[in-house]
Amino acid sequence: MLFDTVCIVGVGLIGGSFGMAVREKKLARQVIGAVRRQETINAAFQKGAVDNATTEIEEAARGADLVFIATPVGQIPDKCRELVPFIRAGAVVTDAGSTKSTLVEECTPIFGSKAHFVGSHPMAGSELVGVEHAKADLFDNATWILTPTPETPKDSIEKLQRLIEAIGAKPLVMDAATHDALLAVTSHLPHITASLLVHLFTQTKDDHAVVEQLIAGGWRDGTRVAAGSPEMWRDICLANTEALIDNVDRMATELSKVREMLEEKNADALQDWFSSAAAVRRKQGYFPR
């Protein structure tokens, strides 16, 4: 047992799956959820995500030695401020936010020397939302990034690493700025691209309703993540604008190259472009799950 009491703020897909995993592996004496609505409490109990739950964050977090904040990114600093008056001395506070630089900068000093904030990002989830879709094995083989600062106590980092490994994920430590720059490429821009494809589809449907009958695997696979939480993705984009703008520009440059190939009907260049992408996408080891 690594912790006595774990508090989860935001018992949705990620928070609920975390609670289920912690309880299944017996990594804490009790798991308490802090939620916004009574119906979420009922759903969390039904899924086995918590031992107890409440709509009062103070009641849920008082006495906890680990607090896991799994709300949209934009809410996390305010949740940290709510926790300060009654957080247990020496407690570890971590999160599931998909951006890290702003969160680490804002949240670390909030707790002062009373508790220790360690930014984290489990690379798992889906377009589905809500605790009803939670599952204990959601984090199996997933990379779980930790973004401590030079001042973060070593024992807090090590304890989180043991917890992450115990629920089946693979901890990876990096600085917050590097995390945000790389996730813009592997996570954030793909979501923007998926949403862009949906908008193009909608515009086409305005003139050709029959397009709805022409959806196949390519569109389904390429747009799956566009069904995710708009609130969550709004906050992610606003928290990582610099890296995203840079990569939107890079994508525009790449699209210009494709446009030129099409205009010139350059068969060899197009085949080389598709071939290089296919080789990378088929590479073994990139997709272990």
Task: Give me the pLDDT at residue 287, please.
Answer: 63
Q: What is the DSSP letter of 30?
A: E
Q: 252 in helix, strand or coil?
A: helix
**Domain-by-domain residue ranges, the chain?**
3-174, 178-281
Q: What six digits make up the tokens of 273?
A: 């472009």
**Is residue 185's pLDDT more than 80?**
yes
Task: Give me the pLDDT at residue 289, please.
Answer: 47
In the chain, pLDDT over 70 holds for what percent of residues?
A: 98
Strand order in the sheet with 92-95: 52-54, 28-34, 3-9, 66-69, 92-95, 116-122, 143-147, 170-173
Please write the tens of the pLDDT for every residue from 112-166: 999 999 999 999 977 778 899 999 999 999 999 999 999 999 999 999 999 999 9
**Residues 6+ away with beta carbon under 8 Å from 138:** 13, 14, 17, 21, 124, 125
**Is residue 288's pLDDT more than 60?**
no
Let me know: does 58 contact 80? Beta carbons within 8 Å: no
**Is residue 174's pLDDT more than 70?**
yes
Specify the pTM.
0.88
Q: Give 187's pLDDT tier (boundaries 50, 70, 90).
A: very high
Average pLDDT of the chain, as a whole number: 94
Picking from 54, 75, 77, the residue whose alpha carbon sits closest to that of residue 8 is: 54
Beta strands in 80-225 (DSSP E): 92-95, 116-122, 143-147, 170-173
Cβ atoms within 10 Å, residue 75: 17
User: What is the rounded CA–CA span in Å between residue 145 and residue 248?
Assistant: 24
Q: What six digits make up the tokens of 194?
A: 């998926």
User: What is the rounded CA–CA span in Å between residue 172 and residue 179?
Assistant: 10
Angle at 252 between CA 246 and CA 258, to 5 degrees: 145
Let me know: does 55 contact 34? Beta carbons within 8 Å: yes
Let me know: does 169 contact 122? Beta carbons within 8 Å: yes
3-174 and 178-281: same fold?
Answer: no
Per-residue buried b or exposed e for 114-126, using 16+ beta carbons within 10 Å of the residue's own CB: ebbbbbbbbbbbe
User: What is the arithmetic mean of pLDDT over 54-81?
Assistant: 94
**Is residue 86's pLDDT more than 70?**
yes
From residue 243, give the alpha-carbon distance in Å to each of 12, 172, 190: 28, 21, 13
Task: Give me the pLDDT at residue 223, please.
Answer: 94
Q: Give 286's pLDDT tier (boundaries 50, 70, 90).
A: low
Cβ atoms within 10 Å, residue 56: 10
Domain 3-174, CATH among 3.40.1190.20, 1.20.210.10, 3.90.1650.10, 3.40.50.720: 3.40.50.720
User: What is the arithmetic mean of pLDDT over 176-202?
Assistant: 96
Task: Give me the pLDDT at residue 228, please.
Answer: 87
Q: What six digits make up the tokens of 80?
A: 């940290």
* CATH H superfamily, domain 178-281: 6-phosphogluconate dehydrogenase C-terminal like domain (1.10.3660.10)
Note the Cα 16 to chain centre separation in Å: 13
Helices (H), 167-188: 176-183
